[in-house]
Copies of this chain bind each other. A is one copy, B any other.
């Protein structure tokens, strides 16, 4: 199967490599040419234009936000024109429900298929082909993509025929991750000020009722105050919560904790903490409790982050 891959940042790069490892033929494209070139040594071809990455049976997009996806599909690059009939666009980024609806319609009109297949997992999980994939779309194209998902992830959840559902599940999941970060941040700040050792508190949690990856992964980052380099940068976290709230508004569902977390992400962005990992919600909780900031705040390093949760 010939696959185009558009968007080769931290996440996309790792995912495309796993496709290559599994024997798929991949043609990459990225706005930043060097990102695409980096894939060449793993056996990929590099397209000179976006359209050049849209000639195969499937094209995957893994981009930063709605605007980037909209531009690639409907804008200047015009995937919608370049893609052949019956070909599949697999959108694996975290996009809004509204854009997913628009793309579903646009590809259908063009005689193409749209599959939403957002993923859970940070860059390390992407590199290890340990992502969780939530896929939705018509049954036939989703089936055709299953081998690709197998190459990139540890498990695929097929949700149903309507692509926006998968995007909503992903957004709901990201809200829940953010809520774990926020709440662990508040609880750990309390433990610290009361002289209960934070690592021991976390251990008790994760060896009893909270024995899930999300508590282990984020709990460790918070306890170690390891907010750099960012696995998932603040502005992207803010964008995701904004997308959750947009979906909630469209359905008339008040989500007060989501609103609160939104304001905390916005605070971090307003304060210039763009380069911190989203787990630094907990840093805000600690600062608001008057705890000393971790060392890196004194000597800011040149952090560079990536795009996934």
Contacts and interface: CB of A to CB of B under 8 A. Distances in A.
A255 B176 contact: no
A204 interface: yes
Contacts of A99: none
A194 B176 contact: no
Interface in A146-164: 155, 157, 159-160, 164
A267 B249 CA distance: 10
A254 B267 CA distance: 6
What copy number does this chain have within its complex? 4
A207 to B, nearest CB: 7
A308 to B, nearest CB: 13
A208 B134 CA distance: 10
A169 B201 CA distance: 7
A contact residues, range: 35 or more
B269 A263 contact: no
Contacts of A253: 186, 189-190, 193, 266, 270, 289
Interface of A: 97, 120, 132, 134, 155, 157, 159-160, 164-165, 168-169, 172-173, 175-177, 179, 182-184, 186-187, 189-191, 193-197, 200-201, 203-205, 207-215, 242, 244, 247-249, 251-260, 262-264, 266-267, 269-272, 285, 287-290
Given A175-B187, A259-B263, A271-B288, 5 more contacts: A120-B209, A168-B191, A172-B187, A194-B247, A256-B263
6 contacts: A132-B204, A175-B186, A175-B187, A177-B209, A193-B252, A212-B212
